[in-house]
Amino acid sequence: EVAGDIADKQVLDAGLIASAQAVEHYEMTRYGTLIAWAKQLGRDDCAAVLQKNLDEEKATDKKLTEMAERKVNLKAA
**What integer pLDDT is reported at residue 21 of this predicted model?**
95
| Residue pLDDT, tens place only, 11-51 | 888 999 999 999 999 999 999 999 999 999 999 999 999 99
Q: Is the pLDDT of residue 76 over 90?
A: no
Q: Which residue type sits at 9?
A: K
**What integer pLDDT is reported at residue 44 of this predicted model?**
98
**What integer pLDDT is reported at residue 22 of this predicted model?**
96
Mean pLDDT score, 40-65? 97
Distances (CA, A) of 62 to 9, 39, 51, 53, 74: 22, 26, 16, 14, 17
Taking the C-alpha atoms of residue 28 and residue 61, their distance in angstroms, rounded to an integer, is 9
Taking the C-alpha atoms of residue 64 and residue 17, their distance in angstroms, rounded to an integer, is 6
